[in-house]
């Protein structure tokens, strides 16, 4: 699936439907190539404009879906739908045998010094955000929260804060420059930590 950007500086809109990981790859790769060629080094090229929020969250959902699907062997059947609902941002679906599994996903992002020069160290920012989740989602057993750690480093064990009841809690992000490798850490009790070569997909 190609996206029709034309010769203008206008970015495409993310389709409002479930998309496979391959469809998301085919959507974002030419979009990013176009933006890097026409507005290199800008907020727009990094999907940081307010008007690009859906595109940015869609890409984060794509990253998480690829990492999660690689970890649990459901990458070939997974679809991702950026919904922006009241209670969650994204709906992930995949096949597990003859059964369809669903994940209601709430995305968060912690931006590092490349985006926010005043950002605290990743460990401090993550600890603060995890404590905030206790107030935001004291009992949301059908919701998974995934935090994109937009720092140039991976993170190890992720502990579910006391008093927080979620279906799952994950932290993910890049471990190497030029988007070569993803890490994903978390689960329910912080028992998973995995590294995924991104280049094999794209």
Which of 147, 91, 149 shows the shortest CA–CA distance to 120?
Answer: 149
pLDDT the model gives residue 7: 29
pLDDT the model gives residue 162: 80
Q: What share of the chain in percent tops pLDDT 90?
A: 31
Of the pLDDT bands very low, low, confident and very high (cuts 50, 70, 90), residue 154 is low
- The set of long-range contacts for 88-95, using a CB threshold of 8 Å and a minimum separation of 24, is 88/143, 89/57, 89/61, 90/57, 90/61, 91/18, 92/61, 92/65, 92/68, 93/18, 94/69
pLDDT the model gives residue 184: 87
Report pLDDT digits (tens) over 8-28.
Answer: 444 568 899 999 999 999 999
Architecture of the 19-200 domain: 3-Layer(aba) Sandwich (3.40)
pLDDT the model gives residue 123: 81
Cα-based angle 98, 103, 108 (whole degrees, multiple of 5): 155
Whole-structure pTM value: 0.86
Domain spans, the chain: 19-200
Would you say 69 and 94 are in contact if contact means Cβ atoms under 8 Å apart?
Answer: yes
- Of 163 and 23, more confident: 23
141 has pLDDT over 80:
yes
């Amino acid at each position: 699936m190609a996206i029709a950007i034309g010769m203008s500086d206008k970015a495409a809109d993310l389709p409002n439907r479930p998309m496979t990981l391959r469809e998301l790859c085919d959507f974002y790769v030419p979009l990013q190539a176009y933006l890097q060629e026409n507005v290199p080094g800008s907020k727009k090229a990094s999907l940081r404009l307010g008007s690009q929020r859906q595109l940015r969250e869609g890409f984060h959902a794509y990253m998480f879906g690829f990492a999660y699907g690689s970890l649990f062997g459901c990458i070939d059947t997974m679809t991702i739908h950026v919904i922006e609902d009241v209670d969650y941002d994204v709906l992930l679906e995949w096949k597990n045998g003859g059964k369809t599994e669903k994940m209601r996903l709430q995305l968060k992002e912690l931006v590092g010094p490349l985006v926010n020069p005043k950002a605290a160290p990743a460990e401090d920012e993550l600890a603060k955000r995890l404590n905030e989740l206790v107030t935001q989602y004291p009992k949301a057993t059908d919701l998974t929260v995934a935090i994109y750690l937009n720092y140039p480093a991976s993170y190890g064990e992720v502990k579910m804060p006391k008093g927080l009841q979620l279906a799952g809690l994950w932290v993910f992000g890049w471990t190497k420059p030029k988007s070569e490798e993803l890490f994903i850490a978390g689960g329910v009790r912080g028992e998973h930590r995995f590294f995924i070569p991104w280049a094999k997909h794209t």
